[in-house]
């Protein structure tokens, strides 16, 4: 929304400048100008309609529907007749399982940033240097991200079975004592899940960082080395600041993805054992769909939506704002 407004503001400013450049006095705005205006409106309508259609059908409508259903006790079959007000929200927020699920989500948000940022940055810096087999390495690192979630989940599920591939591999290198019930122990399952998530998504961070690194003009590094800066100094003073926007956008995508995490967890553990790996989305499916409590499930969905929205807005307000302002300011000049 904000982007749209910015763009519109920009075009009208551009137009004003164009008009004054042609030296046309404002009083002479006649029929041709208004025809021009209508043409522009038509253009906007034509270009915006498809996106608007999709947005309405698949975003606005479901959100509104979920909000509406969330105040009913409804099994999906009967007519909506049992109005319960905010009871569904009260029940969800009071349920220790759901609160645990929210905690798991934020745990994943935090750990994803803490683990994937240094790891992704390090690998990206390495892969940005000229070396033999670089293209192959880049491809290999990106493979897990391209693999479908469901497939990755099934592969890990099979490998992590008791006495499965992972246990055998550890034993064969003499680490038999490190073997755990990877997915069967409530105290271990979240750590297992973090390893799998990192394996799956760090490739995305690396590819984004690599793209960001390519955008840093080599002249800066040349100048720095002429001035006698060490490699570390150059990374700290040049690479990191210039990579900032990329890192901030990646962190944003990672956070939203972590909050909405579903498929990997659902296939590997279903949120178990004993709810130890549940996320808001797995809780939603198991409580809403599997128990035919569509009203309650909708309330959970609204809570998930609200949390994601608040996180997104706060992040935009306090972290991304500078990037957006910089970009627009730069263009106007």
CB 332, min distance to another protein, A? 18
CB 106, min distance to another protein, A? 22
Residue 185 binds another protein, judged by CB under 8 A: yes
Biggest CA–CA distance in the chain, Å, is 87
Q: Which residues on adjacent β-strands are paired with residue 297?
A: none
Report the candidate in 101, 108, 197, 96 with the shortest Cα–Cα distance to residue 144. 197
Residue 272 binds another protein, judged by CB under 8 A: yes
Which residue in 76, 110, 187, 241 binds another protein (CB under 8 A)? 76
Residue 11 binds another protein, judged by CB under 8 A: no
> What is the pattern of x (binds another protein, CB under 8 A) and - over residues 25-54?
------------x---x--xx--xx--xx-
Assigned token pair, 290: 């599997």
> What is the pattern of x (binds another protein, CB under 8 A) and - over residues 278-317?
--------xx-xxxxx------------------------
**Identity of the residue, 45 or 150, whose beta carbon is nearer to another protein in the bound complex:** 45
What is the four-CA torsion angle of 116, 120, 123, 125, rounded to 10 degrees?
Answer: -140
**Identity of the residue, 73 or 235, whose beta carbon is nearer to another protein in the bound complex:** 73
Residue 16 binds another protein, judged by CB under 8 A: no
Category of 21 on φ-ψ map: left (φ > 0), alpha (ψ -120 to 50) or beta:
alpha
Radius of gyration of the chain (CA): 26
Which residue in 151, 191, 274, 306 binds another protein (CB under 8 A)? 274
**Identity of the residue, 100 or 203, whose beta carbon is nearer to another protein in the bound complex:** 100
Q: Which residue has the tokens 């009967």?
A: 78
- 29-35: long-range contacts (C-beta < 8 A, 24 or more apart)? none
Report the candidate in 121, 309, 109 with the shortest Cα–Cα distance to residue 210. 121
CB 78, min distance to another protein, A? 5
Residue 134 binds another protein, judged by CB under 8 A: no
Residue 83: phi and psi, rounded to 5, are -75, 125
Q: What angle do CA 4, 61, 45 make, to 5 degrees?
A: 40
Site of interaction with another protein (CB under 8 A) = 12, 37, 41, 44-45, 48-49, 52-53, 56-57, 60-61, 75-79, 158, 161-164, 181, 183-186, 189, 269-270, 272-275, 286-287, 289-293
């Amino acid at each position: 929304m904000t982007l749209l407004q910015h763009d519109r503001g920009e075009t009208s400013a551009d137009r004003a400048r164009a008009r004054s450049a042609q030296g046309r006095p404002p009083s002479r705005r006649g029929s041709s100008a208004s025809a021009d205006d209508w043409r522009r409106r038509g253009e906007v309508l034509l270009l915006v309609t498809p996106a608007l259609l999709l947005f309405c059908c698949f975003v606005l409508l479901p959100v509104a529907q979920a909000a509406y259903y969330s105040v009913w006790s409804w099994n999906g079959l009967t007519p909506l007749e049992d109005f319960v007000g905010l009871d569904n929200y009260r029940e969800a927020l009071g349920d220790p399982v759901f609160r645990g699920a929210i905690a798991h989500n934020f745990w994943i948000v935090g750990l994803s940033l803490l683990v994937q940022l240094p790891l992704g940055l390090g690998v990206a810096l390495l892969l940005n240097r000229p070396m033999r087999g670089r293209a192959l390495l880049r491809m290999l690192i990106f493979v897990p991200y391209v693999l479908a979630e469901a497939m990755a989940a099934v592969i890990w599920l099979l490998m992590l079975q008791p006495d499965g591939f992972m246990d055998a591999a550890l034993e064969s290198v003499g680490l038999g004592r490190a073997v755990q019930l990877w997915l069967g122990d409530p105290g271990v399952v979240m750590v297992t899940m973090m390893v799998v998530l990192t394996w799956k998504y760090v490739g995305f961070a690396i590819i984004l960082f690599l793209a960001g690194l390519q955008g840093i003009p080599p002249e800066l590094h040349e100048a720095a080395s002429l001035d006698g800066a060490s490699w570390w100094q150059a990374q700290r003073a040049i690479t990191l600041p210039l990579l900032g926007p990329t890192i901030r956008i990646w962190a944003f995508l990672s956070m939203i993805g972590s909050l909405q995490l579903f498929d990997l967890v659902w296939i590997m553990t279903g949120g178990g054992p004993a709810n130890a790996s549940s996320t808001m989305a797995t809780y939603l499916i198991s409580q809403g769909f599997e128990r035919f409590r569509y009203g309650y499930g909708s309330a959970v969905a609204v809570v998930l939506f609200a949390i994601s929205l608040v996180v997104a807005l706060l992040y935009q307000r306090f972290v991304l704002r500078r990037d957006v302002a910089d970009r627009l300011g730069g263009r106007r000049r």
